[in-house]
Amino acid sequence: MDADEFVDAVQDRNKTELSRLGSSKSLYADTDGEMEPEAVLRAAADAEHAAAETFAAWAEAAAAAGDEAAAEAFEACAAEERDHYEQVAAELDDHEPGTAVPAIQAHLRDVEGTTERLGALVGRTLVAEKSKEQTTGFFVGQAKPGLASLFRGLGGDLDEQLSRATALLADRCESEEAWERALAAADAAVGVAYEEYTERLESMGVNPKPVC
């Protein structure tokens, strides 16, 4: 397996979950049904802040273990997420990050092992790409081109995070067993995000599955 095949495998194995996480119902779940611009911005800001803290902790752990390459990669992700948070929070009159950590970030903080963390990062990035696409579309629909452009730009950074993670995986996964561990970690990250999405919608009496 190589880096491109890895990403394709994660997408194929989680096709249904990623598709539903890329629907408008995902924003509805993230905002607890409050589909207003400020609620969408606050949910996005909370997510960016939590991600920055997760990746900073990973970077610190990698540095302590003497893994300079992983530390640099995770810190680069943390820096991007901090920048994302600052950009989104600047669109709000004031913002204090929520105390509730998104399920996917709580999960990531429990992941052990650099290979597993890199795999989980790929899963998280694919989920975040779907979220950015929906948020961009939401603000297009709200006739707020500046905010749509903001989230479109933030989505571009996710491409860098995906490339960073897969490049390190390609350097480190010297066996199919290693790739499988990374793949399982990616699947788990997507699964946690999908489970939270499903539970939130069902708690509001909304069917998480598309109505055909």
Quick check: 64 and 156 in contact, CB under 8 A?
A: no
CB within 8 Å of 199: residues ≥ 6 apart: none
Domains and their CATH numbers in the chain = 3-203 (1.20.1260.10)
Where does the pLDDT of residue 212 fall: very low under 50, low under 70, confident under 90, or very high at 90 and above? very low
What's the pLDDT at 209? Answer: 76
> Counting every residue, how long is the chain?
212
Q: How far apart are CA 45 and CA 52, in angstroms?
A: 11
Number of H helices, E strands in the chain: 9, 0
Where does the pLDDT of residue 3 fall: very low under 50, low under 70, confident under 90, or very high at 90 and above? confident
Burial class (CB within 10 angstroms; exposed 0-12, middle 13-18, buried 19+) of 205: exposed
Q: What is the pLDDT of residues 79-117, one digit of tens each?
A: 999 999 999 999 998 888 877 789 999 999 999 999 999
Q: Which two tokens stand for residue 195?
A: 């489970």
What's the pLDDT at 210? Answer: 65
Q: What is the pLDDT of residues 16-59, one digit of tens each?
A: 999 999 988 999 999 988 899 999 999 999 999 999 999 999 99
Cβ atoms < 10 Å from Cβ of 100: 9
Average pLDDT, the chain: 93
Q: Residue 151 pLDDT > 90, yes or no?
A: yes
Q: Global pTM?
A: 0.94
Q: Residue 60 pLDDT > 80, yes or no?
A: yes
Percent of the chain with pLDDT over 90: 83
Q: Residue 137 pLDDT > 80, yes or no?
A: yes
Quick check: 120 and 188 in contact, CB under 8 A?
A: yes
What's the pLDDT at 157? Answer: 87
CB within 8 Å of 88: residues ≥ 6 apart: 41, 44, 45, 48, 150, 154
